Amino acid sequence: MTMTAHTSPGQAHHVARAFAHVDTWVFDLDNTLYPHEARIWPQVDERITLFLTELFGLDGLSARALQKYFYQRYGTTLSGLMQENGVNADDFLDFVHHIDVSMLDPDPALGDAIAALPGRKLIYTNGTRKHAENIAGRLGILDRFDGVFGITEGGFVPKPQRAAFDLFFKAFDVVPDHAAMFEDIEKNLIVPHDVGMKTVLVLPKTPDPFREAWEQAAVAAGHVHHVTSDLNGFLRSLTGRVA
């Protein structure tokens, strides 16, 4: 595992060589393509809790506990609600993604770094394509991507399940041996690593108070090839554009 924050020219050359074969670049969305200070994910998280509160008539603490149960057992709250309660996925997704993106600033530097990568660039999210397009559009980087794959396109099967990745690979004819995955959740890199992708764990530059400590730790594991807290800088190192 290589930990990258500020990359020297020598380190950049080494990292670039490790990705020289990659022609498909796959990016998670939430907490990967934007900083947590924009408070995008906390809003979604809060609305998931609110959805459970209203659906089951629970108090906030009980709804939060149920939310964590679904997440731990099924990978996403939605999967749990669908499998145990027959909840309509579209109703849930429309509700939880009704958020304010005004605190999210455009990031043209990130857009340029993504555009400079050779080959296709794709977004793969457990959220909806509409949500991804809303966020990427606000960042000013949507036009840098060749496609977006969301939970609906994946038949509501979420990462980190192998079946979810298989659907994504098929949809975009991804050859894993020639692809790289950028993710903020370590367990979502297990399958990408196992099928031959290069993997990068993207951590926040400063601790995110809305997430558990283990969710944002620099994990030393075989399925994590690289760790960075500076996605823009890491991408620039891959194309020899280190300042």
Question: pLDDT tens-digit profile of 179-192?
Answer: 999 999 999 999 99
pTM more than 0.95: no
Average pLDDT over all residues of the chain: 92
Whether the pLDDT of residue 223 is over 90: the answer is yes
Distance CA 239, CA 199 (A): 17
Instruction: Tell me the residue type at 3.
Output: M
pLDDT at 168 over 90: yes
Q: What is the mean pLDDT of residues 150-170?
A: 95
Report whether 33 contacts 136 (CB < 8 A).
Answer: yes
Q: Which residues pair with 3 in a beta bridge?
A: 227
Cβ-based neighbours of 154, under 8 Å, separated by 6 or more: 164, 167, 168
Domains in the chain, CATH or no CATH each: 2-34+104-238 (3.40.50.1000), 40-96 (1.10.150.450)
Tens digit of each residue's pLDDT (9 = 90 or more) over 11-24: 667 788 999 999 99
